[in-house]
Chain A
Amino acid sequence: MQMDPGLHKGEGYQYGPNPKQHYFSPYSMNGGTVLAIAGEDFAVVASDTRLSEGFSIHTRDSPKTYQLTNSTVLGCTGFHGDVLTVTKLLEARLKMYKNEHNRQMSTSAIAAMLSTVLYYRRFFPYYVYNIIGGLDDEGKGAVYSFDPIGSYEREAYRAGGTASSMLQPLLDNQIGFKNQEGVTKVPLSKEKAVFLVKDVFISAAERDIYTGDNIMIHVTTKDGTETEVFPLRRD
């Protein structure tokens, strides 16, 4: 866990006892956490809305989720300059696809495309952690998670961003039923998924300084996407 934002990867100055050279860092860490869960016929994508830098809060109202199509939501966190660029690029590519193929891009196609978009910058990466949540071609919930250079896989649930290591273990236990004995594996309902999302974010906001203020929750079903804003602690 990083204790000092100044020593985090990408910072252009380090605090310490010796003289250090200043250099221009093209990256900065703007914090934030995203989470996506795939259900039988729905997908939930949630993020906090705090934008930070160092020990400052830039704004309490900057959601990290982007609605790409009726059936796909992207959660995107890391360096905000790259987040804005990647989302702008994706939205343009989505439009081009729609004009060429006369239909929306499917969730799996968007995932494959995002991978190539990220790898294109393999030697000057977009410092972004992406998670796509949506419905696949059969109408089932799908979650795709990425690393900054485009490695991706489909999963049932994934947390990304600054509080990911706080959220992921709880999801492993509650959704993946990991290390639980004698438990009946009930399929996850939409309502239970949303309650779980709220609970894990409330917990993360206790200890992660970069997570807080509000969460934005998108629930995608065949009927479209419903959005809810839920408050978190603001300290």
Chain B
Amino acid sequence: MVTGTSVLGVKFDGGIILAADMLGSYGSLARFMHCPRLMKVNDSTVMGAGGDYADFQYIKSVIEQRVIDEECMNDGFQYTPKSLFSWLTRIMYNRRSRFNPLWNTIVVGGLQDGEPFLGYVDKIGTAFKAPSVCSGYGAYIAQPILRNALEKQPNLTEQQAKELIDQCLTVLHYRDARSLNKYQIAIVTKDGARIEGPISSATNWDIAERVGFFDE
């Protein structure tokens, strides 16, 4: 099965950024190098997923259909980050309760009543909100970098958040063996939601030749 690795999310002053690389791995094979793992739900909500790519595509198609149905109802309501987060949590939990989980770790982000929102949902229905959220290896490698930056400066600017994310994805590319140096970011501000990419971060492999091998 095709899988995606980490998804990162960070709040900044006036919005949020989600980031995910564009690799669809097939075990240890880097099979598909243009898999978008971020999705724009509407102008206030974005979602990203790691884990099984097929399950992500299924969730994506269900959400897209619901957004269309909502548009048809024309009652002025649309999915908010909190409502999508709550709905996804219930879906994931109920699937796990039937022992047929959607094998994903999902990050939901957006602007809720003018306030930045960031949430994490597991394949077994564990869900929480936080100022920085990472799935997969990102939780071990990127989360400390994000938390450190937010502790020093709780209100980042959009540009600072973008640079922080780039730094995190660079480190992830160095250390996560199932990652790719080609990623997308989703930015949500009061001006709307947009997905940017593909972006490649600047990497420096100079030290590689100095790394000793078994006999050298």
Q: Which of A's residues lie within 8 Å of B, judged by CB? A: 24-28, 30, 51, 53, 56, 58-59, 61-62, 79-81, 84-85, 124
Contacts and interface: CB of A to CB of B under 8 A. Distances in A.
A117 to B, nearest CB: 15
Given A25-B124, A27-B124, A59-B128, 16 more contacts: A24-B99, A24-B101, A26-B96, A26-B99, A26-B124, A28-B122, A28-B126, A30-B126, A58-B130, A59-B129, A59-B130, A79-B124, A81-B96, A81-B125, A84-B125, A85-B93
Interface string B60-102: 0000000000000000000000000000010001001101010
A28 B126 CA distance: 9
Interface residues of B, number: 17
Interface in B129-177: 129-130, 139-140
23 contacts: A24-B99, A24-B101, A25-B124, A26-B97, A51-B128, A53-B126, A56-B139, A56-B140, A58-B120, A58-B128, A58-B130, A59-B129, A79-B124, A79-B126, A80-B126, A80-B128, A81-B122, A81-B124, A81-B125, A81-B127, A84-B89, A84-B127, A124-B97
Contact of A80 (B99, B127, B129, B130): B127
Contacts of A25: 124
Nearest to B100: A24
Nearest to A85: B93
Contacts of A56: 139-140
A217 to B, nearest CB: 21
Most chain A CB within 10 A, of B89, B125, B127, is at B125
A26 B126 CA distance: 11
Contact of B93 (A28, A59, A61, A84): A84
Contacts of A59: 128-130
A61 B97 contact: no
A30 B124 CA distance: 12
Contacts of B125: 81, 84-85
